[in-house]
Structure 1
Amino acid sequence: MMSKMIEPITFTVPLSFEAHEIAQQCGKQSSPKKFKQVYLNTLAVYAVDFYLRCMGFETDWPVSDSRNPLMLKLMDVADLDVKQIGKIECRPVLPDADACQIPYDAWGDRIGYVAVQLDQSLKQATLLGFTRTVAKQVPLSALNSLEDLLVYMNRIKQLKPVNLMNWFDEIFDAGWQVIDDLLNPKQLQLRSFRSNNALPIDRGQKIDLGMQLGEQSVALVVTLPPEPDSEVDIQVRVYPMGNQTYLPPGLKLMLMDESEEVIFKAESREADNFLNFEFCSDLRELFSITVGLGDVNVKQSFRL
């Protein structure tokens, strides 16, 4: 019996007028060959930037070498700076190519390389996958999936603990949004964490667990009291996002101490519209929160 081949997950981005206008501006170079190189590179970066922002990552394209006129003139680069994570290279792939070309100029200071296939009309770009392999060319068949890319980037992000004491000074790490931007009005009404009638401090982060959730993402919301004390009461909740009413059954929310010992664990049932727990943490304490489904886990470390 023949086994059914599984098509790799891709992501297609329409190349708008804005994309071509940016490419036109970046491509103002002396020779037609250089203009074409920069133009295609810029379209590839535009597509990856669009995708990563859709996935909840905060990018900073303006500070990248791919928007620096001098670097573009001297080198073949298509990098994108992702806050809290690092630089990712976005390499254009022509429609009939079977490999992703990685120039020597892009071999250093990159966490990975995303292959972006441009269609013949340059009206759309398709993210095919990524690789951490540094080579002159990487066969498209050897690329890792976009799901693997998201897991990899989240792992890098997890290594840097969020300093919750900064939240009391209204200083928030990149990627932590006001929860009004993440939750719907009905979910916002479920908030009950208050202290002396003062509003709490809360921020949320979109978490994508890839294929395990299909099109669905969840929001991790962390809530602190209005003012710090020698001990800080912390509430953690996970909500479904988008049009989803309930969390997927079997979703786990875990609290771990500095030695990775599980202190608390909650698991969603058939019709849970959120998971939550509250705990008290001492100042200068390091802990982590993990959201997991099946074999996929996303962990974020915190420090008070």
Structure 2
Amino acid sequence: MMSDIATISTFTGPISTVVRRLAEKWSRQQATPEKSQQILLNTLSVSFVNFYLESMGFETDLEASDSWNPVQQTLMDVADLLIKNLGKLECRPVLENADFVYVPPEVQSNRIGYVAVQISESLQSAKLLGFIKEISIENLPINQLQPLENFLNYLESLELQATKCKTQNLGLFTSQDVVNLKRWFENIFESGWETIESIFITEQAWQFRSAESGFKNSVERAKLVDFGIKANRSSVGIVVKVSHEKNNFDDMKIVVDLHPTNGQEYLPSSLHVMILDEEEIAVMEAKAKNDNKKISLEFNAAVGDNFSVKIALGDISVIENFVI
């Protein structure tokens, strides 16, 4: 994600005219000069950190941050920036030649860390001075801040923990949230399993339907599989179709299809899908090539059988567990 981060102690850059105008607009809406100045500096600070983190490859969400909500701005002294999958980072502004960073009590919790942002008197530029993970005082001496290379390493370690926890939790979650395919015939569907039309909104649903010759009693559902930030938010759509011959619920035909999403024409070239038996042994598998528009796996199963579908993209995998 980054190179030579050990040489990074501070970061200085310009404040865009667009951001400055937005900050001034919000500041003019306040009732007092003090509140006006507070929101002006908070907005510039958050925007500058957002610019920096995006340039470093982190995914942020300004609109979901309290600092970008005009109502919350007025109610609190807040300068938070939401980093997706990690949490809120507080971006506290300081003026030139300041010795302390002011951190109000209301933001001394529910934060993954605090960054000090020095705003120039002209409001034309800003500098990241450093960070600290936790704080319990309102006025933090600037000389107690850790350098930026520690900050970047810290965020990367949080990403690794989040990915690890997600993988572990996913395994625990899916093992408990087993999809009961027989209940699909009673129109009972687990959370996340939607109609094909709702998952593949921009496509024609008939493209995802395959002929069920000899199996007239069938039901199908789709789910969006998101591999998360470490895979650049890559996703695929999984379609599971289950069918049986008339009046025979004992033997089922299962079709598992994978399709590209988000307007992509092909599946990710490193995609790997496996059908696992009850012992978690792969009994069927397929890998996407550069021009695969679809992967389809078909097999038969009996009532009471358990199986799993493992979908892997690089070193990130998602497992869906099923019972007939």
TM-score, with length taken from structure 1:
0.58
Q: Which one has the bigger helix percentage?
A: 2
1 CA distance for matches of 2:205 and 2:4? 41
Residue 130 of structure 1 aligns with which residue? none
Residue 204 of structure 1 aligns with which residue? 222
Q: In 2 relative to 1, CA 150–10 (structure 1 residues): closer, same or farther, beyond 3 Å?
A: farther
From 153, 157, 165, the counterpart of 2:173: 157
Report the identity percentage: 22
Partner SS state of residue 95, structure 1: strand
Say whether the 8 Å CA contact 2:89–2:111 is kept in structure 1. Answer: no
Q: In 2 relative to 1, CA 299–16 (structure 1 residues): closer, same or farther, beyond 3 Å?
A: closer
Q: In 2 relative to 1, CA 199–280 (structure 1 residues): closer, same or farther, beyond 3 Å?
A: closer
Residue 4 of structure 1 aligns with which residue? 4
1:138-196: per-residue Cα shift (whole Å, max 9, x none)?
Answer: x9626521861654553343222212222111111111111112224356324214255
TM-score, with length taken from structure 2:
0.55
2 CA distance for matches of 1:300 and 1:269? 23
Residue 169 of structure 1 aligns with which residue? 186
Matches within 5 A, 1:43-54: none
Q: In 2 relative to 1, CA 272–224 (structure 1 residues): closer, same or farther, beyond 3 Å?
A: same
Matches within 5 A, 1:178-193: 178-183=195-200, 184-186=202-204, 188-193=206-211
- 1:223 equivalenced with 2:241 (yes/no): yes
Say whether the 8 Å CA contact 1:9–1:145 is kept in structure 2. Answer: no
2 CA distance for matches of 1:212 and 1:282? 37
1:78-120: per-residue Cα shift (whole Å, max 9, x none)?
Answer: xxxxxxxxxxxx965421399xxxx9xx9xxxxxx884989x9
- 1:14 equivalenced with 2:14 (yes/no): no
AA partner of residue 159 (structure 1): S
Say whether the 8 Å CA contact 2:194–2:221 is kept in structure 1. Answer: yes
Aligned residues: 222
- 1:214 equivalenced with 2:232 (yes/no): yes
Once superposed, what is the RMSD of the aligned Cα atoms? 4.4
Say whether the 8 Å CA contact 2:63–2:69 is kept in structure 1. Answer: no
Q: Give the ranges of 4+ consecutive aligned residues of structure 1 lying more than 6 Å apart after TM superposition.
A: 21-24
In structure 2, the gaps of 5 or more residues are 6-54, 94-100, 118-133, 137-149
1:19-65: per-residue Cα shift (whole Å, max 9, x none)?
Answer: 959979xxxxxxx9xx759xx7xx99xx79xx68xxxxxxxxxxxxx
2 CA distance for matches of 1:190 and 1:205? 13
2 CA distance for matches of 1:91 and 1:248? 28
2 CA distance for matches of 1:301 and 1:193? 25
Partner SS state of residue 144, structure 1: helix
Say whether the 8 Å CA contact 2:92–2:114 is kept in structure 1. Answer: no
2 CA distance for matches of 1:302 and 1:287? 5
